[in-house]
């Protein structure tokens, strides 16, 4: 099913926990797909906690088949929106810190000019 090396590509594989947060699917939904032969998987464990690794392309295809194209588009849009909001928040924090540093440097420059 999977192309050679697809498991090693960046963002090509994801865990069942990540699938739940990104796509809103349950572990039972994933296990049903595995049992039906629609999803390839690999077992993994981090610090003794087991998880299932899946291929993102197969999971998206399975979600489309079971829940419809609209569901996948909606969920992916929500995930992208969350990422954008987080990035905007991070940039605002960084910009605020830069404005504060700029004010300090300008104040230092003004005091040195006065002397």
- Answer yes or no: is pLDDT of 1 > 90: no
Q: Is 20 helix (H, G, I), strand (E, B) or coil?
A: helix
pLDDT band with cut points at 50, 70 and 90 for residue 3: low
Q: Which of 77, 15, 80, 22 is nearest to 49 (CA)?
A: 15
- Residue 12 and residue 56 in contact, taking contact as beta carbons nearer than 8 Å: yes
Q: How many CB atoms within 10 Å of residue 64?
A: 14
- Answer yes or no: is pLDDT of 98 > 80: yes
Higher pLDDT, 85 or 68: 85
The CA distance from 72 to 32, in Å, is 18
Look at the pTM and tell me if it is higher than 0.75: no
Residue 52 in tokens: 């299932």
- Residue 34 and residue 41 in contact, taking contact as beta carbons nearer than 8 Å: yes
The mean per-residue pLDDT over the stretch 35-41 comes to 94
């Amino acid at each position: 099913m999977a192309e050679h090396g697809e498991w090693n590509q960046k963002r090509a594989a994801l865990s069942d926990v990540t699938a739940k947060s990104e796509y809103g699917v349950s572990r039972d939904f994933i296990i049903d797909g595995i049992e039906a032969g629609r999803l390839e998987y690999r077992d993994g464990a981090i610090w003794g906690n087991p998880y299932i690794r899946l291929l993102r392309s197969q999971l998206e295809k399975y979600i489309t088949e079971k829940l419809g194209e609209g569901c996948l588009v909606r969920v992916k849009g929500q995930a992208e929106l969350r990422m954008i909001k987080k990035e905007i928040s991070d940039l605002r924090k960084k910009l605020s810190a830069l404005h504060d540093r700029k004010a300090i440097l300008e104040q230092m420059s003004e005091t040195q000019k006065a002397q």
